[in-house]
Amino acid sequence: MKVFESQQKFQGTLLTDEETEEKGLTKEFPKKFSELHCTRNTMSFAEIDRMVIYRIADYIQGRNSNPSMIPGFQRPSVWTKEQKSSLIRSILRGLPTGTYYINRSDNAELNDLLFDGQQRFTAVQEFLDGSFPVTIEGEEFYWYNLPPRQLSQVENHLVQIVFTEFDSEEELVKFYIEMNENLSPHSKEEIQIASDYLKTLEK
């Protein structure tokens, strides 16, 4: 039996899986569509930041052409200081800060690429670089003003990570476009950046 009763209704009659198949309602699902393999895990910002070091090391050794974790098709940094400060306040309060997408691949160019979550990750990096303070109850705190416990909260804040395994940049960009067109509040201009990048790959 299927989970939802409404899924089994056909002309007002409840159908078994066998009856559904007999009536020709079940179609063969495209095999290629289900080939995408994602795994979920949790990581701290400190652990994600270490990936930047790995990317730089691969760049120095000539294994990739981009030392950054941020791919070329990712939208540019658009958050205001208030948005960045708001994220740090959320972290200090122990609130969840959403899901991040990282690609892992045997292809060094595509390995450890953070292709969704850049705004949040960059905001944390900038806060820990001393680029802006967070205001708590009217008091400004740069990272070096925070007590050790609160500083550790930022560095070791755990986030949800979805790991994809694309070995083709074209497939990765297509996935990014599909995901953000349907699920994330990206503007048409931001989606267009990725679409234009995809066209350069398809030439």
Task: Walk along the chain (203 residues) and give the pLDDT tens digit of each residue.
Answer: 455 555 555 555 666 777 777 777 777 777 666 567 789 999 999 999 888 888 888 888 888 888 888 888 876 778 999 999 999 999 999 999 999 999 999 998 899 999 988 899 999 999 999 999 999 999 999 999 999 999 999 999 999 999 999 999 998 998 888 887 765 455 566 666 777 777 787 76
Quick check: helix, strand or coil at residue 4?
A: coil
Q: Where are the alpha helices (DSSP H) in 98-168?
A: 118-128, 148-155
* CA–CA separation, 75 and 193 (whole Å): 7
Please report the sign of the dihedral spanned by the C-alpha atoms of residue 72, residue 75, residue 76, residue 81.
negative
Hey, is 168 helix, strand or coil? coil
C-alpha dihedral, 90 to 129 to 117 to 56, nearest 10°: -150
The model's pTM is 0.74
Kind of pairing, strands 113-116 and 99-103?
A: antiparallel
